[in-house]
Structures are given as C-alpha cells and as structure tokens.
Amino acid sequence: MEKVSNNRLANFQKLEAPVFFSSADENVPEVGKILGRELNPSGKYSLRQRQKKLRSKIFRGVRVLIAEKGYFSFSMKELADECETTRQTIYNLVGDRENLIKAAQSEHLKALILIASKQNNYPNLFLEFANVAWRNSVINSVYVKEVMLTHHLNKAISVRDLHEISFKPLYLELLAMEKAGKLRKGVDVKLVAEHVHYLIISITLRWVRGEINDSELRCQLLSGTGFFLLGVMRPSHQEKVERFINNFFNDYG
C-alpha cells in the first residue's frame, strides 16, 4: 500500500487545527484533558486510549473522504486504506457505515462546541459558537458544504441526532444567563436556544448555496446572533453585546 494516507490525513488535520481538537494535539494538556486522551504515568497509551486514538483517526478519515469523494461515494475499503487499518477493525470500533458517519459528524460538532466554550473573545457562548462555526465553514469548506447539503436536503441523518449535540450547550448557557438575571422576564429559554441554533444553520446554508460569501457569512452569523440576543436580554445587561456589535460593524467596514 502506498504511504499517502498519512499525508492526506495530516493535511486535513492542519485545516481543522484552528477549530478542531484532533489526535495530533493530544500532548497539549488542556486538549488531552478535554478529549480524555491523557497519557498514563508510564508515558504509554492503554488499550482504551489506543482505541480512542484510532477512532479519532477513523473519524478524521471519514471527513477526508467526504470532502474528496462526496458523502455517499467512498467505500469502507477506501476508509480502511486511508486509516491504515482493516474494515473489521472499523466495524468493531464504530459499527456500520451509517453509525460511522453519524459519529464522525458528532465528534466534529462536539469539538466545535468545546472550542467555543474555551474562548473568551466575545460576550457569551452564542457569539463564540457563531464565530467558531464561521471559521470551521471557511477552513473546512468542502467538507461542510458536502455534509450540509446532504444532511439538510437529503435527510441522510436525523436532524434530532445532530441538533442535540449543539443545542444542549446553548440551552445551558441561556439557563445560566437567566439565573444570573441577564434575560427579560418570561423568556422561553428553550425556544430562544432553538431559534439561535437554527439561525446559525440557516445562515450557513445560504453560504453553502453560494448566496453569500465568506465575509458576509461571518457578518451575518455574528450580527444576527448578537441582535437576536439583544431582544431577550435585560437592558442593564445589553451593554457588552451592543458594544461588540458596534465594534464589529466598525471593523467590518
């Protein structure tokens, strides 16, 4: 077998690196802790840790092949060759093709949420997630476009499956804001989280269809999320978001 797959995986990993915690980053303590891949005291990986590492490599291979060949066009043999493992190993670790693709997307979305939660550039998690979603879309554009077109137009994967992954952290963030007295009385927290979640999806779909460019994608994601939040926040807690929006548009041009 030609040793080309590692290079292709590495290249895709570099593209993901700014917005995705991949196995190459596991020697960084914070990233290793988040993904549960810390080395044991002897400096060697346990069986469970090796399996997690291989699973991550398999998921990354799925994303490589989706970007290169399309959502439905790659074979399990091609994936096994890409990851330098066997089809049986893939089935043992992850399951069938449907579960594999679901898991690969789920891991990617969870990583985006984790990265957003670790940032401290914007007033709240909603704006952090909108920015991470933009960065991910631009950096991994072929993969994101292929997945979103397939997922949302062909319903290949349950909306509920992926919605739960990215919706729950946003919902918990809103609950924390409500507890801190930042939201107006009577706000339906769950409904707001759902609206913000689908706002991000719908704007990204416009970009996927070519209706807006990369710069407009970022502008609409951040400003749309920011203006939506202003509508549900108490006036006394709107200052940071208002200042962010004003500064953003000043910088935007």
Q: Please state the domain count of the chain.
A: 2
Question: Do 151 and 61 reside in the same domain of the chain?
Answer: no
Question: Do 81 and 206 reside in the same domain of the chain?
Answer: no
pLDDT of 123? 87
Q: Enumerate residues 6+ apart whose C-beta is below 8 A from 85.
A: 54, 57, 58
Q: Among residues of the chain, what percentage have pLDDT more than 70? A: 75
pLDDT of 80? 92
pTM of structure: 0.72
Helices 159-179 & 97-118 angle (0-180, nearest 10):
20
User: Can you give the residue range of the structural domain that contains 5?
Assistant: 1-97
Question: Do 75 and 162 reside in the same domain of the chain?
Answer: no
Beta-bridge partners for 233 = 183
Question: Do 141 and 78 reside in the same domain of the chain?
Answer: no
Question: Do 226 and 140 reside in the same domain of the chain?
Answer: yes
Question: Do 88 and 140 reside in the same domain of the chain?
Answer: no
Question: Do 135 and 169 reside in the same domain of the chain?
Answer: yes
| Residue 102 covered by a domain | no
| Residue 239 covered by a domain | yes
Question: Do 175 and 206 reside in the same domain of the chain?
Answer: yes
| Residue 113 covered by a domain | no
pLDDT < 70 positions in the chain: 1-45, 151-165, 252-253
